[in-house]
Amino acid sequence: MANVKACGGNWNGVQDESFTWTNDDTTNAVVISQDGNNTWPFTTPTVLPFTLTVPRKTTSPGTLACQLISTPGTYTYNSAPCPTEGNPKTVIIS
């Protein structure tokens, strides 16, 4: 299982791959959300609103297990608050 920074930039994954979101922010949880009406690239949640919350860092980074969808392609999503990184973010699923 790979680790992906919740505020990180663009990354690559594999169909149906399980991974773990990580958050090093000690103040804020990070909310991952759908980019407009674009396809949600993760298997959860399965109903609107498409959002995931990665807990803030306490004694170790906040984490949240997740999985990519099974359809290859380039997908976008947003994450906030991430003051130095812009949105949308991109995941390429192969």
Q: How many CA atoms lie within 13 A of 83 on its CB side?
A: 3
Spans of the chain below 50 pLDDT? none
Tell me the pLDDT tens digit for each residue of 21-40: 999 999 999 999 999 999 99
Domain extents in the chain = 2-81
Taking each continuous run of H as one helix and of E as one strand, the counts in the chain are: 0, 8
DSSP 20-40: EEEE--SS--EEEEE-TTSPP
